[in-house]
Amino acid sequence: MFAMSVSQSQTSPASPALAVSVEGLTKWFVHRSLLRRSEPQVVTALENVTFSIECGEIFGILGANGSGKSTLVRVLSTLLIPDQGTARVFGYDVVREASEVKRLINRVSVEASFFKRLSAMENLLYASRLYGRHGRDLRADILAVLDRLGITREQVNQPLEQFSRGMQQKVAIARAFLTSPILLLLDEPTTGLDPRSKRDVQALVQQLRSEHHATILLCTHDLDEAEALCDRIAILDRGRPVAVDTPERLKALVARPGAGSPSLEEAFLALTGRTLEVELAP
Amino acid sequence: MTVDVIPKVSTRSRFWQEVCATYAFIERNLFLMRRYWGWEVAFTVYTVASSLSVMYIGKAQQANQDYLVLYLGIGTLVWSYLRSIFSIISEMIAWERWEGTIEYTMMAPVSRLTHLLGVSIFSVLYGLARSALLLGTIALLFGLGLGRANLAGAALVLAAGSLSFIGVGMMAAVLPLLFTERGAEMTFVISSVLLLVSGVYYPVAVLPGWMQPAARVSPATYVLEGMRAAILDGAPVTALWPVLWPTLLIGLLTIPAGVLVFSAVERYAKRTGRLKRSG
């Protein structure tokens, strides 16, 4: 019914005009038990995913838990090798040219992922130095970014385990900022945040795009967030792309004559046959 | 809210970036040491106490008391140093899994050689500091007689031993990548077996015959033989060659092999999704 509007006839995958180009991406995981003589269980996390993201775009991936969003981000982050298909970041293949890709990207995941006993300053020094940042400016830059994120000088040297989740997530955003990625991969960056922290993070995302001209891939299951931030949205269901388009066009896809404009949630429900709250079994 | 400081990306050469990254691993581990200072104190007290306990066994003997104390002291010092190197390198993945940072470290634009080098440099510095503390305590309590010792020769053997243990540690570090839940335990088993077969507290000759071939492939065996020859007997460097070359050979083989194996296993982990799971 809603044939994949994924075929967007973009330019060639290697074109640097595209920030991300994904073609026929497939990833499966095999779970086998060494002790039990049971058949290995194969879980398809991504199945023939094709889309592209233009430079400077905020591109949303919308899907329920278990729909393959994080797997897609991990492939683009060079942390997973796909089984079929290709993924390119600014023309660089994420498998064969991983070291080039790593210089261009950074990621903010749903888990803040820090050395918990280290302070924000210590964690950010480590993360920045891995990207070749050094010298006197670095500490000043870290303080400036954290200050603007609302983290005080006293808090900068406190262990991150004493921070709230919202504050940890802000430090995670600072970590990404400090390496100046031109592609930022955001994997549910606002999940579990209070409304104010959520708004702060969303403002930062928009600012990163407008001031740093970064391209942003935002995985979320927050429909309001997707609609507010994203230029285009891909809906992923059980590892398969169901539709890719602007929020308005996605809603128009499922609009019924005389029924008024549907919400993005209704569009998601119509396109996938399920709500976002459903946790998909592996 | 706005952030008016969006730092510029580093424009330094690749080489310089790798140097910065090497330093990043050293500095990070120093930060961790400082933050986990309670555990550092506990481990140091344990190491000193267990080393002194072993040396008092020598002191309790009637014959060759001084020789035995020094023999056991060298064993405990060298093992403390080599085990530090092995543990820090082999547990680097397990540690990051536990903290939940492994994906961010693996995602950074750093060569795996740099990663392993940074951790190895820290492990040597850490091992030297711990051993110096231990040596100071032993010297204070036992008044070691080092009049005959060839200290330069001993340092040479220790340097060669460091290389070989860095290589062995790199090989072992792949285990937590391969086995997300049991890898760290396996590295512990390896260090325990090395302790048993390498003649740390006794000559290898007292081991059962079937166990002795394992001693010949353990770099610790050669390091301990060389250290004892240099310190107890004052053996010149030329006389240390029979233990130096196998130690160097193990290092020359295991370091490049360790980097290659690590890279291959990292690729396997990325194919099978093992980086994500925390052990």
Cβ pair B251, B166 in contact under 8 A: yes
Of B3, B12, B267, the CB nearest to A207: B3
Of A74, A141, A159, the CB nearest to B5: A141
Asked if the Cβ–Cβ distance from A79 to B276 is below 8 Å, we say yes
Burial of B136 (0-12, 13-18, 19+ CB in 10 A): exposed
The average pLDDT across A58-67 equals: 91
Per CB-CB distance under 8 Å, the chain A contacts of B177 are none
User: Which superfamily does A18-116+174-272 belong to?
Assistant: P-loop containing nucleotide triphosphate hydrolases (3.40.50.300)
Give the integer Cα–Cα distance in Å for A32 and B168.
29
Predicted confidence at residue A135, as pLDDT, reads: 80
B120-139 confidence digits (pLDDT tens)? 999 999 999 999 999 889 98
What is the total residue count of chain A? 282
A82, closest residue in chain B (CA to CA): B271
Predicted confidence at residue B119, as pLDDT, reads: 97
Residue of higher predicted confidence among A196 and A185: A185
Q: For A194, which DSSP code? A: -
Mutate to test the interface with B, among A134, A139, A161, A204 (most CBs of B within 10 A): A134
Which residues 52-91 of chain A have a CB within 8 Å of chain B?
74, 77-81, 83
A185, closest residue in chain B (CA to CA): B107
Which residues 15-54 of chain A have a CB within 8 Å of chain B?
29-30
Predicted confidence at residue A9, as pLDDT, reads: 33
Joined together, the tokens standing for residue B214 give 């394992």
pLDDT > 70? residue A6: no
Per CB-CB distance under 8 Å, the chain A contacts of B3 are 145, 148-149, 177, 204, 207
Cβ pair A104, A117 in contact under 8 A: no
How close A233 comes to chain B (CA, Å)?
Answer: 25
Mutate to test the interface with A, among B5, B40, B265 (most CBs of A within 10 A): B5
- Residue B108: which pLDDT band, with cuts at 50, 70 and 90? very high
Asked if the Cβ–Cβ distance from B271 to A211 is below 8 Å, we say no
What percentage of chain B reaches a pLDDT higher than 90? 78
Q: Which residues have C-beta within 8 Å of that of residue A20, sequence separation ≥ 6?
A: A51, A52, A53, A59, A76, A87, A88, A89, A183, A215, A217
Asked if the Cβ–Cβ distance from B109 to A103 is below 8 Å, we say yes
Residue of higher predicted confidence among B9 and A202: A202
The average pLDDT across A40-62 equals: 93
B211-256 confidence digits (pLDDT tens)? 999 999 999 999 999 999 999 899 999 999 999 999 999 999 999 9
Q: Answer whether B28 touches A (CB < 8 Å).
A: yes
Nearest Cα residue to B251 out of B170, B177, B187:
B170
Per CB-CB distance under 8 Å, the chain B contacts of A145 are 3, 5, 7
Of B10, B27, B35, the CB nearest to A132: B10
- Residue B5: which pLDDT band, with cuts at 50, 70 and 90? very low
Give the integer Cα–Cα distance in Å for A163 and B235.
58
Q: Answer whether A151 touches B (CB < 8 Å).
A: no
Q: Answer whether A176 touches B (CB < 8 Å).
A: no
- Residue A4: which pLDDT band, with cuts at 50, 70 and 90? very low
Joined together, the tokens standing for residue A243 give 């539709």
Of A103, A111, A132, the CB nearest to B16: A132
Which residues 238-277 of chain A have a CB within 8 Å of chain B?
none
B257-269 confidence digits (pLDDT tens)? 999 999 999 999 9
pLDDT > 50? residue A7: no
Predicted confidence at residue B6, as pLDDT, reads: 47
Joined together, the tokens standing for residue A274 give 């399920």
A170, closest residue in chain B (CA to CA): B3
Asked if the Cβ–Cβ distance from B270 to A129 is below 8 Å, we say no
A75, closest residue in chain B (CA to CA): B270
A139-188 confidence digits (pLDDT tens)? 999 999 899 888 999 999 999 999 998 889 889 989 998 988 999 999 99
How close A72 comes to chain B (CA, Å)?
Answer: 12
B143-192 confidence digits (pLDDT tens)? 877 778 899 999 999 999 999 999 999 999 999 998 887 888 999 999 99
The average pLDDT across B84-89 equals: 95
Nearest Cα residue to B83 out of B177, B243, B224, B246:
B224
Residue of higher predicted confidence among B86 and A180: B86
The average pLDDT across A234-262 equals: 88
Give the integer Cα–Cα distance in Å for A241 and A6.
7
Q: Which residues have C-beta within 8 Å of that of residue B256, sequence separation ≥ 6?
A: none
Predicted confidence at residue A5, as pLDDT, reads: 32
Cβ pair A66, A280 in contact under 8 A: yes
What percentage of chain B reaches a pLDDT higher than 70? 95
Asked if the Cβ–Cβ distance from A113 to B7 is below 8 Å, we say no
CB atoms within 10 A of CB A30: 11
Mutate to test the interface with A, among B107, B116, B119, B268 (most CBs of A within 10 A): B107
Joined together, the tokens standing for residue B225 give 């033989």
* Side chain identity, residue A126: Y
Per CB-CB distance under 8 Å, the chain A contacts of B100 are 111, 113-114
Give the integer Cα–Cα distance in Å for B76 and B74.
6
pLDDT > 60? residue A208: yes
Give the integer Cα–Cα distance in Å for A242 and A240.
6
pLDDT > 90? residue A39: no
Complex confidence, ipTM: 0.87
Predicted confidence at residue B133, as pLDDT, reads: 93
pLDDT > 70? residue A207: yes
Residue of higher predicted confidence among A262 and B175: B175
Size of interface A-B (CB pairs under 8 A): 136
Tell me the domain boundaries of chain A: 18-116+174-272
Q: Answer whether B36 touches A (CB < 8 Å).
A: yes
Predicted confidence at residue B279, as pLDDT, reads: 36
Give the integer Cα–Cα distance in Å for B258 and B117.
11
Asked if the Cβ–Cβ distance from B12 to A132 is below 8 Å, we say yes
Predicted confidence at residue A129, as pLDDT, reads: 95
- Arithmetic mean of pLDDT over chain A: 86
Asked if the Cβ–Cβ distance from A79 to B275 is below 8 Å, we say yes
pLDDT > 50? residue A12: no
Per CB-CB distance under 8 Å, the chain A contacts of B101 are 113-115
pLDDT > 50? residue A229: yes
Asked if the Cβ–Cβ distance from A148 to B99 is below 8 Å, we say no
Per CB-CB distance under 8 Å, the chain B contacts of A113 are 100-101, 103-104
Cα A51 to the center of its chain, rounded Å: 14
